Amino acid sequence: MEDLKERFNEYLELSGVSEIARRYFVMNAFDGVLTMVGVIIGAYMGGNINHDVILGAGISASIAMGISGFSGAYMTENAERTREMKRLESALLISLEGTRFSRAKRFAIIFVSLVDGLSPAVGAFIVVSPFFFTSIIAPATAVLLSLALALITLFLLGVYLAHISDEMFITHGLKMLIVGLITITICTGAMRLL
């Protein structure tokens, strides 16, 4: 187990993937949360807060965002890492296939793809989760809990950004929270116009 941890850390360092993964995590979790906010508000304002409909739409959207994120990141990261490896091989005048660098390249592609694919799905799943409990809570309560979870998640993503940038957590948390409130307001207003 210790060997696996050392190899993981070595590949993280060699590939420089940590920073990219952090960015993908925050951006895509943010997307997943706000997408689900739109789905829930759309269902609520459209008069259809049936938990089966919202769970079906929420889970399907989560899966679609996960597949999209994973495959898009895989193809993009593979192209970038292959280009980088070819440049390095050209400069060194040797093939790096089978070396630690090529293994770190493969690790980076998979690692970033997993982060990119899982983060929007997890964000979306958190928001839609109250609808799993509509046998014990009213659908309207599930809507309110979902929106509260969305805002809490956005705030926590802001806190995480503050931690990365070594700035005040409350400022970043509130910024993300404000974006969530603006999204709720715009989605609600747009649905009223329909």
Residue 31: its pLDDT value, please?
A: 92
pLDDT for 37: 95
In 3D space, the residue among 57, 22, 187, 23 whose CA is nearest the CA of residue 127 turns out to be 57
Q: What is the pLDDT at residue 6?
A: 83
Average pLDDT over residues 110-123: 93
The amino acid at residue 144 is L
d(CA 95, CA 98) in angstroms, rounded, equals 9
**What pLDDT band is residue 104 in, cutting at 50, 70 and 90?**
confident
H-state helical runs in 17-50: 18-45
* Span 87-114, average pLDDT: 87
Average pLDDT over residues 159-183: 92
pLDDT digits (tens, 9 = 90+) for 49-75: 888 888 888 889 888 988 998 999 999
Alpha carbon distances (Å) from 103 to 55, 132, 153:
39, 41, 34
What is the pTM (predicted TM-score) of this model?
0.86
Give Dmax over CA atoms of the chain in angstroms: 67
Measured distance CA(105)–CA(8) in Å, rounded: 12
Return the pLDDT at 194: 76
pLDDT on residue 45:
87
Helix H, strand E, coil C: the string for 103-133 is: HHHHHHHHHHHHHHHHHHHHHHHHHHHHHHH
